[in-house]
Amino acid sequence: LQKLIHLLQATDDPLIQEQALITLSNSAAFSVNQDIIRNLDGLSVIGGMLTNCLPKVKEKALNALNNLSMNIKNQEEIQVFITQVCRIVESAPLNSDVQLAGLRLLTNMSVTSDYHQKMINSIPCFLHLLSEGTERTQIQVLKVLVNLSANPAMTRHLLRAQV
Residue 32 and residue 41: Cα distance in Å, rounded?
Answer: 15
pLDDT band of residue 162 (cuts 50, 70, 90) is confident
pLDDT band of residue 153 (cuts 50, 70, 90) is very high
What residue ranges define each of the domains in the chain, with the CATH number in brackets?
A: 1-78 (1.25.10.10), 80-162 (no CATH)
Q: What is the pLDDT of residues 103-136, one digit of tens each?
A: 999 999 999 999 999 999 999 999 999 999 999 9
Which pTM does this prediction carry? 0.96
Residue 21 and residue 62: Cα distance in Å, rounded?
Answer: 9
The alpha-helical segments, DSSP class H, found in the chain are 2-10, 14-27, 31-39, 42-48, 55-68, 72-78, 82-91, 97-109, 123-132, 135-149, 155-160
